[in-house]
C-alpha cells in the first residue's frame, strides 16, 4: 500500500514528533486548526487549595522527561498550565466551534 506524505498538522504549532511537517498556519491556512486536549477536572466548588495541589502534581508529571517522551511517541504534546489557562482554552474552543457550526449551518439530527 502506498502511503502519502503528511502535508500539515492541524495543531496551531508544528509538532516536534513530526519534524519538517508544517502547521496549517505555516502551510498558508491561518486560523485553521483543530487539536485534541485532555484535562483533569474535579467537582464543582472544589477548594482552591486542592485545585492548586492537583494542578501542581499534574504539571510536575508533565515536566517529567520520561512522561514527555512517552507522550511524544503518541504524537501528543503535553502543555500543562493553570486552571485559568484551561478555562480560557475552553472558552476559545467554544467560540471557534460555535462559529463553525453556525457558518456551516450544521443542525443536530434529533433521533429518538
Check residue 4 and give its pLDDT.
80
Statement: residue 13 has pLDDT above 90 = no
Any domain includes 24 = yes
Co-location of 29 and 4 in the same domain: yes
- Cα–Cα distances (Å) from 76 to 9, 47, 67, in that order, read 12, 30, 11
Co-location of 53 and 87 in the same domain: yes
Co-location of 52 and 77 in the same domain: yes
Any domain includes 77 = yes
Range of the domain at 15: 1-35
Q: Report helix, strand or coil for 23.
A: strand
Check residue 1 and give its pLDDT.
66
Co-location of 57 and 28 in the same domain: no
Statement: residue 26 has pLDDT above 90 = yes
Q: How confident is the model at residue 20 (pLDDT cuts 50, 70, 90)?
A: very high
Any domain includes 18 = yes
Co-location of 21 and 63 in the same domain: no
Co-location of 31 and 52 in the same domain: no
Judge whether 23 and 12 are in contact, CB under 8 Å.
yes
* Pairwise pLDDT comparison (5 vs 54), residue with the higher score: 54
- The domain tally of the chain equals 2
Can you list the pairs that 102-110 forms with residues at least 24 positions away whose Cβ atoms lie under 8 Å? none
Co-location of 20 and 57 in the same domain: no
pTM, 2 dp: 0.73
Any domain includes 40 = no
Co-location of 18 and 53 in the same domain: no
Amino acid at each position: 500500500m502506498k502511503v502519502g506524505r503528511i502535508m500539515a498538522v492541524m495543531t496551531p504549532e508544528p509538532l516536534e514528533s513530526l519534524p519538517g511537517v508544517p502547521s496549517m498556519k505555516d502551510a498558508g491556512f491561518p486560523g485553521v486548526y483543530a487539536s485534541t486536549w485532555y484535562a483533569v477536572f474535579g467537582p464543582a466548588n472544589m477548594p482552591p487549595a486542592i485545585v492548586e495541589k492537583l494542578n501542581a502534581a499534574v504539571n510536575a508529571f508533565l515536566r517529567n522527561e520520561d512522561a514527555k517522551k512517552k507522550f511524544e511517541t503518541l504524537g501528543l504534546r503535553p502543555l500543562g498550565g493553570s486552571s485559568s489557562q484551561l478555562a480560557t482554552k475552553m472558552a476559545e474552543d467554544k467560540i471557534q466551534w460555535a462559529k463553525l457550526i453556525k457558518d456551516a449551518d450544521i443542525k443536530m439530527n434529533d433521533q429518538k
